[in-house]
Structure 1
């Protein structure tokens, strides 16, 4: 069987060889945001994936409620499963991100962000924000932002390849190796098999819409962790509605997690360096004053 997504007419249930789930959660909700994973809980088991939020809200209201805040040691990956937003960055230009597009923000040694995306044409948006722990050579390095519209993203069958490489195609996101992150929509009853690349023993899914049959039935708001290994993951869209979900797989992050309030590093020394840089940037940010653009966004401060 090739290392590509396989689409075929699906039987009512999946074959018993489908990779088993070992944990599922619906997270903790706070207003329009549900925290599905944090570095201090599931992130320890799924690293380099260390944080995941599912959000669904009026983007205008959510932007007003989101304060500008710092990060170091991680990259954030934001995708939208419904609706669209605009970006306006002096280095990256202006455009729209909807389903299949991505904001990739590598914090590295330190950034302040939180209002770089503003409302688009849609009344509401739904999507996921993921944090990825960076390796030692990048965790205190130069920050970088990429805003990539859907038509520039790679596709592998029903999946947009947000990060990594799959099915003979690769994402334009400049992410570390050994990480795949896919955004997938399946029609009702449609069956799809994900075959992890060699070494990708970490794997999970989170459902944004509809029902998803894996080794168990999942529904909107569920996150599930698969048993460690490299066996294929067989998935099927829910009858009557289909499904939209994200799937992550990776080579395990071999480092301990050293946690700050907004930062994740591989050592106490790297964390201290990141927090010093964040403090310095914060002083410069306060001196810079109002940086809001005409579109209503505030660019990432690097």
Structure 2
């Protein structure tokens, strides 16, 4: 079985009144190439007449964001003209590429009525050849994302991208990124194989799992060596896992604020371009 290198506990990093934990980057883990950043917002309950999510207009360049809406909703708008409200169970995939401005806030309905909220956002790097690709965005509701059922119905896997157990993911991606949200009922078992050439992204959102014999608690990110293909997962409790894998790009990564490039010169240029309005304009 693949060796666990280290288990990383997410750092607590609240944003205004939004409960936020981040397992990457931290002092103990910078990235799992090409997965570079994860924020886990919630779970929490918002009262009626709340301010919702605080992510007003801001730019990005050189990377992709994948947003998992486990509870609540997100109203997305960007300078490329894309708009959507994605509800519980849905996923957004935004390729920032050469650059755009976007906002991720709560719908007016959620701000008026309140409710449960739990959202995760994962940043995925783009290789140099795609850093300046044309930006794009796609948001899908839960019903539009394929689901694989395993272990007599005790495991359900929402296939986001790539492939999982023979089922193709909902999103077509520029690079070969495999992402799945897996929900386990207590006592269920799952065996997986991932090529030793690929890095694994393994974040326990809720519950408790045993992976290759070691305990993996909620808000833990598991870092693996690349010494074997096999994973064995057992659910100690009802649990949710975000599982991904991809070949590392093995390129220099320079991240500053909302930009992820290959050099400091490219970062400086991104800020210059943003100030000059080259990443688009914003109208309320």
With structure 1 as the length reference, what TM-score do the two structures score? 0.77
Higher relative contact order (CA 8 A, sep 6+): 1
Contact 2:259/2:267 (CA < 8 Å) preserved in 1?
A: yes
Within-5 A mapping of 1:23-38: 23-31=6-14, 32-38=19-25
Give the counterpart of 1:203 among 184, 200, 203.
200
Within-5 A mapping of 1:33-112: 33-38=20-25, 42-44=29-31, 46-56=32-42, 57-58=44-45, 60-63=50-53, 65-87=54-76, 94-99=84-89, 101-112=90-101
In structure 1, the partner of 2:152 is none
Give the counterpart of 1:142 among 134, 148, 154.
134
Using the alignment, how far apart are the partners of 2:45 and 2:277 within structure 1? 30
In the alignment, structure 1 residue 242 sits paired with structure 2 residue 238: yes
Using the alignment, how far apart are the partners of 1:250 and 1:133 within structure 2? 11
SS in structure 1 at match of 2:241? strand
Q: CA deviation at 1:221?
A: 1.2
Q: Between Structure 1 and Structure 2, which shows a larger proportion of strand residues? A: 2
With structure 2 as the length reference, what TM-score do the two structures score? 0.82
Using the alignment, how far apart are the partners of 2:278 and 2:215 within structure 1? 45
Give the counterpart of 1:123 among 112, 115, 120.
115
Q: Which runs of 5+ in 2 are unaligned?
A: 150-155
SS in structure 2 at match of 1:124? strand
Using the alignment, how far apart are the partners of 1:144 and 1:40 within structure 2? 32
SS in structure 2 at match of 1:252? coil
Q: CA deviation at 1:93?
A: 5.6
Give the counterpart of 2:148 among 148, 156, 173.
156
Greater displacement, 227-236 / 185-194: 227-236
Give the counterpart of 1:212 among 209, 212, 218.
209
Q: How many residues align?
A: 265
Contact 1:97/1:147 (CA < 8 Å) preserved in 2?
A: no
Q: CA deviation at 1:201?
A: 2.3
Contact 1:72/1:278 (CA < 8 Å) preserved in 2?
A: no
Greater displacement, 32-41 / 181-190: 32-41
Q: CA deviation at 1:53?
A: 0.9
Q: Which runs of 5+ in 1 are unaligned?
A: 1-16, 292-302
CA RMSD in angstroms, aligned pairs only: 2.7
Using the alignment, how far apart are the partners of 2:6 and 2:29 within structure 1? 10
